[in-house]
Structure 1
């Protein structure tokens, strides 16, 4: 799924990023995460609707169950579960996260995998793409470790979440 979504550049990604996205079956990865959350009531409402993690710093456990139809991810952060489902359709990597369904374009840039929002639906209703210009994710490798950096800022709302850290992919 990820090689199709990222195209020819997938082969140029660092080993830990490729390994995380090529394995089939059930995998568990441990690491560390730091989470910043927006403070306003709208930010809290959006975060609850998409099951975003709580603010804090500490251990992270990610469980991925991958097969030919897609992947189910469960991120365990700060005593909470953040589940999502991913699949590939119409040239986009799609993710159901709480009440929101995203379609992402994946690009390989400077040895990293960059995710950019291409479409969003909430409760089946399409939302303006212009709202999501500051929603980005990046996967890379540093010192042999898989690294991630996810930041979501919405106009009129501000920061929803910024979480970053690492996983031991091995």
Structure 2
């Protein structure tokens, strides 16, 4: 069986990660994960604009979350659905790798991330971005855009935050996921 995207990017470190992370990032074919997510967003005008451009849903607390993962030879597709009031927030991410970096695309935004695993935590650091596939954003703007995942009580617990120079905090999202068959 061919290695998954995350196995390719992390190499041997993938197999040292906690079970919950290996389950989430070791999908062959299709899988659904379910959990909950809380999003905090800044109220400043520029921060709200940046969050909107990045497709970050509005602020919510413990909203039901599903993540459908489909893997194939060209990468992965993640379909995220967040049950927020008054409507559902959906996002489609395409993931692939190039030059040892994870690439994520959602709409007009493409992020380049470096992954590393240490002490049971998987760290995502954004090292580059492009808007509309052509307009690069300076790397120094993205120094405080990052995420991490770890296992807590058998679940994959995650946190993502974005702080931009001259803008300040844009958003912070945290939550958990586990295979849907394990929920409950």
Please report the TM-score for the alignment, with normalisation by the length of structure 1. 0.94
Take 1:115 and 1:7, find their aligned partners in 2: how far apart are those partners? Answer: 15
Structure 1 residues not aligned, in runs of 5+: none
1:150 to 149, 160, 174: 160
Tell me what 1:61 maps to: 66
DSSP-derived class of the 2:24 partner:
helix
Native 8 Å contact 2:27 2:69 kept in 1 = no
Take 2:60 and 2:76, find their aligned partners in 1: how far apart are those partners? Answer: 26
Take 1:56 and 1:92, find their aligned partners in 2: how far apart are those partners? Answer: 31
Tell me what 1:139 maps to: 149
Tell me what 1:36 maps to: 40
1:70 to 53, 64, 75: 75
Which protein is bigger by CA-based radius of gyration? 2
Take 2:58 and 2:175, find their aligned partners in 1: how far apart are those partners? Answer: 14
Structure 2 residues not aligned, in runs of 5+: none
Q: How does 1:102-117 map to 2 (within 5 A)?
A: 102-117=111-126
RMSD: 1.2
Between Structure 1 and Structure 2, how many residues are aligned?
A: 170
Take 1:46 and 1:82, find their aligned partners in 2: how far apart are those partners? Answer: 16
Take 2:169 and 2:66, find their aligned partners in 1: how far apart are those partners? Answer: 24
Please report the TM-score for the alignment, with normalisation by the length of structure 2. 0.88
- 1:71-103 deviation per Cα after TM superposition (whole angstroms, max 9, x unaligned): 111211221112211101111000012321111
Distance 1:93 1:19, change over 3 A: same
Take 1:34 and 1:127, find their aligned partners in 2: how far apart are those partners? Answer: 27
